[in-house]
Amino acid sequence: MIGVFDSGHGGLTVLRALVDAAPDRPFVYLGDHAAAPYGSRGEDDIYRLTIRGMEHLFAQGCGLVVIACNTAAAVALRRLQQTWLPGAYPGRNVLGVLVPMVEAITRVPWMIDTVPPDHLAEPRTVGVFATQATVNSGSFPREIGKRAPSVRVVQQACPDLVPLIERGAPDGDLAPVVAGYVAALLAQLNGQPLDAVVLGCTHYPLVARLFERALPPGVEVLCQPTLTARSLDQYLERHPEYRPAPGEGGVRFFTTGSAPLVSELAGRFFGHPTPFERLSP
């Protein structure tokens, strides 16, 4: 089985893309709704919560987990891969949604930490909309800068978006908030052109249309679910030991919060009913 972890509902946008790409694969989703949101938490707290989520998913029989939470991936992924996973769970692995986005922007594989001498990335400016913790981590500018130094990265934290999206706020409430964050990012550019933006939170694809409406014409909007599904396929081709047996498709949904409440709200993110089961925190 393949696990998918998020602090709340947002990872369901990634899960939907994974299921659509390979409906015969079995998935287990865990939303840490009791501790959400992660974006305003400190790094050590995020790391601890992420480790706890991995332990729950490994206990469910997952050999591979995708961290479908940009905050957790940005803050905790490299640390847990290097210092926790090898000793605690050898033979299992954890991936994150930040990796496919960095690869798509730089066109350089994640495992290459420095730009190859013959790689000439096109100079351009990329904006990143993300949670405060993801912005504070510096993961996007750091990892993009290693692989494509000619790409300028400008970040904008969006602290109010996840709570609004989680509670199902209407477009009338969301649109001015999104427009305000877009205006703040553009103000950092001092009139310089913007080529593309990263929606660096898995909640944000649900309001991608509002970002597109607020951004200048011609700015490319990069969302993570499709890129993550493509990246997982490529990873499983390289690592068949993590590939589930065919014909075992299906999804189980777990939450550390209220299962009835989460089930009621989460279907909007996944596009189908999501019968969550309660997992003790």
- Catalytic annotation, residues: 69, 201
Q: In the beta sheet, which residues pair with residue 220?
A: 196
Q: Annotation-wise, does 6 bind a ligand?
A: yes
Cβ-based burial of 144 (10 A; exposed 0-12, middle 13-18, buried ≥19): buried
Q: Which of 147, 179, 144 is nearest to 161 (CA)?
A: 179
DSSP codes of every residue in 203-233: TGGGGHHHHHHHSPTT-EEE-HHHHHHHHHH
Q: Annotation-wise, does 47 bind a ligand?
A: no
Q: Annotation-wise, does 7 bind a ligand?
A: yes
Q: What are phi and psi of 107, to 5 degrees?
A: 60, 35
Q: Annotation-wise, does 71 bind a ligand?
A: yes
Order across the sheet with 124-130: list the strands.
151-157, 124-130, 196-199, 220-222
What distance in Å separates the CA atoms of residue 94 and residue 196, rounded to the nearest whole number? Answer: 28
Q: Annotation-wise, does 190 bind a ligand?
A: no
Q: Annotation-wise, does 24 bind a ligand?
A: no
Any residues with CB less than 8 A from the CB of 175 and at least 6 apart, and which? 210, 213, 214
Q: Annotation-wise, does 180 bind a ligand?
A: no
Q: Annotation-wise, does 280 bind a ligand?
A: no
Q: Which of 43, 1, 55, 27 is nearest to 281 (CA)?
A: 55
What distance in Å separates the CA atoms of residue 103 and residue 101, rounded to the nearest whole number? Answer: 5
What distance in Å separates the CA atoms of residue 227 and residue 222, rounded to the nearest whole number? Answer: 9
At 111, list the tokens: 């495992």
Please enumerate, by residue number, every residue annotated as part of a binding site: 6-7, 38-39, 70-71, 202-203
Please enumerate, by residue number, every residue annotated as part of a binding site for substrate: 6-7, 38-39, 70-71, 202-203
